[in-house]
Amino acid sequence: MYFPAEHLLNKLKISDTELREFEEKGIVQGISRAGRVFYSSRDMYRLRGILSLLSRGLPLDEAKYHVDHPTQEVAGSDGPE
């Protein structure tokens, strides 16, 4: 399922500028159709998870890793060995 950019902005409460920055960093990938940009439900849920982790103080690279690999531990963490 695809959503127009406006839906993503409203749902995640981010600005158009922030969305463009996330696209430039390869976090989301919009698809242009008929003069509008659409994002997949995967983009929306991935970005929602990353934003949540960023709000908890994780750096962007770690937030992306945790969202993309939810069952794997990050090297150097205090988790079980």
CATH number, domain of 43, equals 1.10.1660.10
For the segment 1-25, the average pLDDT, to the nearest whole number, is: 94
- Model-level pTM? 0.80
User: Looking at the domain assignment, is residue 52 inside a domain?
Assistant: yes
Q: Please give the tally of structural domains in the chain.
A: 1
For the segment 18-28, the average pLDDT, to the nearest whole number, is: 94
Tell me the C-alpha distance between 29 and 32, whole Å. 10
Check residue 47 and give its pLDDT. 96
User: Looking at the domain assignment, is residue 39 inside a domain?
Assistant: yes
For the record, the structure tokens of 46 come out as: 């991935």
Check residue 77 and give its pLDDT. 54
Domain that holds residue 38: 2-68
| pLDDT, the chain, mean | 89
For the segment 37-54, the average pLDDT, to the nearest whole number, is: 95
Check residue 76 and give its pLDDT. 54
